[in-house]
Amino acid sequence: MASKVHEQQTVVGAVDPSLGGSHARPSQLHREDDRPADPIGSWAPFGERYHLQRQLGRGGMASVHLASDAVLLREVAIKRIDPPAGFTPDPERFVGEAQITAQLDHPNIPPVHDLVLDGDAPYFVMKAVSGDTLADYLDQRPEVPRDSEVLDDLLVIFLKVCDAIAFAHSRGVVHRDLKPQNVMVDTFGRVYVMDWGLARVLPGSQAERVRVARRGFADDGSGTVSYMAPEQAQPLWRPIGPWTDVFALGALLYEIVSGHPPYFGESHAEVRELAARADIVPLENVVPGGHVPTALSRIVRKATEREPSQRYAGVSQLARDIERFRRGGLGFGSRRFEAGEIIVREGDHGQDAFVITHGKCVAYKTLDDRKVVLREMGPGDVFGEMAVFSSRPRSASVEALEATVVRVVGRHLLQEGLGLDTWMGAFVRALTDRFREVEEKLERLERSRTE
């Protein structure tokens, strides 16, 4: 694939993840500007309670400062309207952002402590979050394909983001600008979804009482094009809703796995066109060697379908599949066998292996009409695995000694989860055949000894 710079530009994003003027024009792209930082104490409508320490960052229409709270004796972050020269601020929309965020009382969303309406320069006070953005976190771990431990750490972060967004959706709020820069991971591993400046309130929701009802704003293409759903990149093609955040979460997951966002282009316009078509190169084609667990690739594809109706019905369903992937479940089913029932029979062909979750079984072979017990098995033991990796008949029977419940592990599920159709799968199959050959030799020796 040609090397291209991916677009991290956003219509109203922020330099710091806690920033975000929510009313910039589409042509005003996210950028550092040349405005000097305020010297400490030069802007002081905070009274005697809040004392500015330093500026944390600046976005298109707002800036955020670290401050100390003289009453509660803690550090806080203060966000205030701070537009560049020539731009008219929109205090009502800024107030709406504060009110929306304040209603999202969730561990993975920084709380808003106070909102002060100071004429045309309102500001709100929120929890000060220190740490790295997810973008920084990914930059510090550039190796792709991901080491399994690193991938699992990233998926844990992703699931916490899902928790926050699922909660917001339950309150009728859509974020609309999910990206690594708007996710903070603090020094204790706590995860926060930041910058709700583009959030939309859905009709009839609990958050509808905010001063500015965001549902009245036109779909103007605001957002970050590298993670945009088609309905954002192509306004009025489809309505904005929770499914829009589902797509952005899929795009975020794409970057977690591959190391970069799903869209690349030479210009902002080109990337937006790709976003309008949801033209995403499959993960297997961008990760070196194509080493992507099939189940994880399938989750990303479903979350980033072009048609909203084809995506996950909600964030909880997406999170559920990620959790299953992490646990290795991959949708394995369960079966129950009563005492005396044969679970697998020697000589049969099968494509399933089994993991005992409850009960006891016995594995045995039949030699010259004699039942030769091989071993007894209990919870956690695995049997029938040869059938998953080989097309040969089963070499032993397994009978339930008592009521037994097993997880059924099908060959197709392992092919998806472990990539048995790759070179690694060929390696595993070769080892299986070797073990099978040794087993058959031992069986022939056993027969010759009894003759």
Distance CA 39, CA 66 (A): 13
Q: Is residue 177 annotated as part of the catalytic site, yes or no?
A: yes
What residue ranges in 109-224 does DSSP mark as E strands? 112-116, 123-127, 131-133, 173-174, 183-186, 191-193, 200-201
Non-local (6+) Cβ contacts of 252 within 8 A are 134, 158, 161, 178, 179, 180, 183, 227
Asked if residue 40 lies in contact with residue 53, where contact means CB atoms within 8 angstroms, the answer is: yes
In single-letter form, the type of residue at position 282 comes to P
Q: Which two tokens stand for residue 229?
A: 């759903």
Distance CA 75, CA 62 (A): 19
Residue 38 buriedness (CB in 10 A; 0-12 / 13-18 / 19+): middle
Of 13, 45, 17, 32, the C-alpha closest to 84 is: 32
Asked if residue 341 lies in contact with residue 398, where contact means CB atoms within 8 angstroms, the answer is: no
Alpha helices in 293-418 (DSSP H): 294-303, 315-327, 385-389, 411-418
Of 383, 377, 374, 389, the C-alpha closest to 436 is: 389
Asked if residue 21 lies in contact with residue 83, where contact means CB atoms within 8 angstroms, the answer is: yes
Of 163, 422, 207, the C-alpha closest to 315 is: 163
Catalytic, out of 177, 195, 219, 245 = 177
Residue given tokens 């967004």 in the structure block? 165
Q: What is the CA radius of gyration of the chain?
A: 28
The residues annotated as belonging to the active site are 177
